Each structure stands twice: as structure tokens, then as C-alpha cells.
Structure 1
Amino acid sequence: MTFNSILNRAKKTAIKATSEAGALILHHFERDKKIEQKGTDGDVVTEVDRMAERLIRKRIRSVFVDHQIRGEEFGQVDAQESEWIWLIDPLDGTNNYAIGLPVYAVCVTLMYRNEPVLGIIYEPHLHRMHVAQKDRGAQCNEQFFTMKKTGEAKPTLAWIQGHHVLRDPNAMRLRVSMLQQSKRILTLWAPSVAWCLLAKGEIDAIVLYDSEGEDLYGGVLLAREAGASVIQFNGDDFFGQRDHPYVIACHPSKKEIFLDMVRNGLNSKN
């Protein structure tokens, strides 16, 4: 199959899989979720996470037998190598879901040669299906959209950090500095939801501090296809996969503003 035919088939497969997983997750929202601790940094997992990932894996594997698959809950179990790899976060925002807070999403990304080419972020509670394809724009419920520019004097930011960052003094210093210069800093515990807000221009920026995972690259693609700038803390464009990403995403016209805010925050004495 050609690249475009694979991408078109992948889009249909991913939308179907995330829709089905979202319905399963929504069905269990008010029920016993069998919550378990995951690691030592406060993360949790539910049986619903695992059920949703199994469903998505099965749907993908039934169509793309030679693609690799990496999931939040079961890792990468494929023996074969491929230029194509699927990243699955079956329930991004499990901590929210576990306490009955409806801020979560299903996130599925298709990577080709280490770059995202398809990103699906589905919010089951709001029935919002976000789709991004490389060089084909961003959609929400089949309607194309672009990032709007906000005019607030003080920005609203979303902060995303890895669970292991909790005790990093540089991260703490940066957050305090940004808080002093912002209207609000959102810590949603559901990064893919933050990427949807950013892509539409509902918030001004995302600052991501050392948080690599299955939810990252679909969000980056959605934001970029909507017109956002996605850069590293050093000002270079953010491309490829990074083990330790440090990212700023915002409207292109505000790139230097947020880059200066991050640099000043990291160098502050507060």
C-alpha cells in the first residue's frame, strides 16, 4: 500500500477503535473501577485502562499486522521491527477518571519514521473526536479548525510534567515564576485534553517539562496542524521522539514571549 492509502485506512481504524474504547470507558465511569497504585509517584491505573487498551490493540492488529504497537499499560510486545508504530494511551487522565472528574481522553497516535503522521484524541464525556493528519490539518467532529489568537493581557497556561519531576527544584522554580506572570496555570492531569485546548486557542500556551509518553506526539501533531508553534526550551523546533522533552507550544506570534518567560523562570531566584 502507498503512504496515503495506509494513512487513510489508519484514520478509519483509529477513529473506530477510539470510539469503541470511549464508549467502554464512559460505561464504567460511575461503576467500580478497581483502582490500583501505579509506581511510587502517585499515578494510578484501573481495569478500564487495560480493557480499553486491549480493545484498541485488537482493532489495530486486525488491520495492520506488520505495524508495531506501544501502549501505556502493556508496553511494546511486538517482536517485529517496522517504520510504523502506534502509540496508545487508552485513558489519559486516569487520576481524574478514578475520582469521578470527567476530564480525560483516549489518545492514539501513528508514527512513521519517528514522526507523528496521525493523531486521534477522543473525549468521551463531551463526544469530541479530534483528528490530525500530517499536512492535512486538524479537525474536531469532522470540522476543520485553526488556532485562534487570544488577546488576554495575562495568559492562561497548561503545565505538563512527568510523574518523576515532582521533586525537581528547577521545575518548581519555573512553575512559581510562570504563576506570577499568568492569569492561571492549569494542571489537568490529562495532557491530551490540554493539547486540544491549546490547538483551538482556548488557552495561550503549554509548557511541558520532561514528560514523554504515549499521549505526547498526537497532541503535538494536533497543535501543529492547527497552526501552533511547538518548540524546545532552547528555541529549536520540536520534532522526532525525545526521551526527555522540554516543550513550549503556543500561537506563533507569541513564541518569543513564552520562550523568554521560560528562560527567565529557569534563571530566577524566587
Structure 2
Amino acid sequence: MNQEERIAAARAVAEAAARDAGRYAKQRFLSEYTVQEKDEFGDLVTDVDVHAERIILDAIRASFPDDAIRSEETGWSGVEGDWLWLVDPLDGTNNFAIGLPAFGVAVTLLYRREPVVGVVYESMTDRLYSATAGQGASCNGVPLAAPAIDPEKPLRKRTVGWIQGHQVQKEPGAMRLKAMLDETCKRTLRLWAPALLWTMLARGQLDGVVLYDSEGDDLYAGLLIAREAGAAVLRFDGTPFAGMEEHPYLIAGRGDAAAQLIELANRARGE
């Protein structure tokens, strides 16, 4: 098959696998499951993560056995090459573990380090978000377009999402910027399920997202969906974000929100 056909087939596989894994997690929600800490920061993993991951990896390997995969729980597998899958089988594990119904699945396919397919499945609402680079985004098959907003709308009337990497913890720069967002914006939302924040931006329920040093398997699917829905995704210096970065610092927004948030980030850094 040619590249276009391959990407279309990959999107279908990703959508089906994400839905199957997400529905499994919903079935297990509020039931008994094993929980373990997996790092020094107290991040959690459950047996549900492991089984959901197996559902997705089996589906990918059945259709694309030679592709490389980087997955949240098992790490790297497959053959390194042009194609790379990123899998977060339970985005929002901490929410899941404490009984908070805000979690989902994120699956991305990258070609030469550029996301070309992004799928996010929100388990509790049965929303399947999907995007192909250059072809737009959809939710349950309905095209998504982040609605236009008043360019004169000040930050004090805007709601933004906050995402930070596990390793950031209480880093002074992050805490300073987060405090300025809390003081300046109408509301700053930290959901503990980053992929879902990106989908909220895509459907217009957030004005912007600020991401502070958070590269991971949950990033690129939601980012692609938001971008294909019309949101700008920029680095803190205002340049367009592309590819993959080990330590991304990003601002995304609709309308003029991104520019306002970049100005705020620069003030937080004393620039």
C-alpha cells in the first residue's frame, strides 16, 4: 500500500484499539484492581493499564509488525525506522485509581518524528477524537473546528489548561508561571489527564493550554487533534512547534489567546 493508504489503515487500527482499551478501562472502573507506585514521585500503575496496553499493542503488531512502538508501561519494542507508535493505554491513571471519572487512551503514529495520526478516546463519555495530519480532526465522526473567539477577550475571562511533566514537581519557574496563570486567568485547569485537556481545547471548552516540560506518550495525539481543529501550537518563544522534543515548553490557543499566554510566560521568566 502507498503512504496515504497506510496512514488511513493505521488510523482505523488506532481508533478500534483505543476504543477497545478505553471500554475495558470503563468496565473495570470502581472495581477491584492492583495499584503500584512506579517512580520516585508516586505516579501509579494498575493492572488495568497493563491489560489495556496489551489490547492496543496486539492490534498494532497484528497490522504493522515491523513498526517501532513506545508505550507507557512496556517502553520500546519493534524495529526502529520511519514509523513510530506512541501509546498511553490509560491517560489519567491517578484519576482512575482514586475514582475520578476523567481518563482515556492516547495513540499516536509518527512518520519521521512528525505525528500523522492522533487518536484520543475518552472512556467515560464514549468520545472518540481522531485526526490525520492535514485532513482535520473529528469527534465521533463529526468534524471538529475550535470556534473563533473574541480577540479582545482578556485573560481574566479565559480558561486555560495546565500540563507539567512528572519531573517538574515544584520547580520554581513552573510554580511562578502557574501562580501567574491562577492570578491572571478566569480559571486554570489541571486535569491529571493531559490528552483530555487537548481535546477540550479542540472542541472549544478551553481557550488555551500551557505545557511545561512534559514530553510523553500522551502528548502528540491530543496536540495533533487540537492543531487540526484550528488551534495554534507554539513554543514559549512564539515559533511554531513541530516534530518531537525531549523537553517541550508549549503554548496552544485559539484566536489571540496563544499570544497573550506567551506574553504572560515571558513575564514569568522575567523577559
TM-score between the two structures when normalised by the length of structure 1: 0.96
Q: How far off its partner does 1:77 sit? A: 2.2
231, 249, 254: which is aligned to 2:252?
249
Counterpart residue number, 1:204: 207
- CA-to-partner distance for each residue in 1:211-241, whole Å, 9 max, x for gaps? 0000111111111100010000011111111
Which amino acid is 2:147 matched to? K
Count residues with an aligned counterpart. 267
Counterpart residue number, 1:83: 82
Q: 1:253 to 1:167 in 2, by over 3 A?
A: closer
184, 189, 194: which is aligned to 2:187?
184
Q: How far off its partner does 1:254 sit? A: 2.8
The 8 Å contact of residues 175 and 265 in structure 1, kept in 2 or not, is answered as no
Gaps of 5+ in 2: none
The answer to whether structure 1 residue 44 and structure 2 residue 44 are counterparts is: yes
TM-score between the two structures when normalised by the length of structure 2: 0.96
Counterpart residue number, 1:113: 112
Structure 1 residues 25-34 or 152-161, which shifts more?
152-161
Counterpart residue number, 2:53: 53
The 8 Å contact of residues 160 and 208 in structure 1, kept in 2 or not, is answered as yes
Q: How far off its partner does 1:149 sit? A: 2.9
Give the secondary-structure state (helix, strand or coil) at the position aligned to 1:70. Answer: strand
Distance 2:4 2:126 in 1: 27
Distance 1:252 1:119 in 2: 23
- CA-to-partner distance for each residue in 1:60-94, whole Å, 9 max, x for gaps? 1000011111100000022x222011100000000
Structure 1 residues 16-25 or 249-258, which shifts more?
249-258
Distance 1:100 1:144 in 2: 31
218, 221, 225: which is aligned to 1:222?
225
Q: Percent identity?
A: 43
Which amino acid is 1:208 matched to? L
Q: How far off its partner does 1:200 sit? A: 1.2
Which amino acid is 2:113 matched to? N
242, 261, 265: which is aligned to 2:264?
261
The 8 Å contact of residues 208 and 258 in structure 2, kept in 1 or not, is answered as no
Structure 1 residues 22-31 or 239-248, which shifts more?
22-31
Counterpart residue number, 2:7: 7
Distance 2:191 2:246 in 1: 22
